[in-house]
Amino acid sequence: MEELESCIVGFLSFFREASLVKQSLMLEDLSKIRVTSMGDDMVLLQAEVPREIEKAQKEHQRWWKATFKKV
């Protein structure tokens, strides 16, 4: 259960492979966030550190809004 505390489900604005989302995260210097495909337009985002995803959302708002329709 602890492991899931640092996870968030993201709904992509348009379909793309999880590997492309991962590459985009690396380009945004967010390589500590792992991406797993959940099918359709959903990906599981998992951070090594709690609150890392929320922090990334605030610091990279433009990228998050372009990549995800809902997180």
Q: What is the pTM (predicted TM-score) of this model?
A: 0.82
3-class DSSP string for the chain: CHHHHHEEEEEECCCCCHHHHHHHHHHCCCCCEEEEEEECCEEEEEECCCCHHHHHHHHCHHHHHHHEEEC
Domain segments of the chain: what residues? 2-70
pLDDT tens by residue, 19-60: 888 888 888 888 889 999 998 889 999 998 878 899 999 999
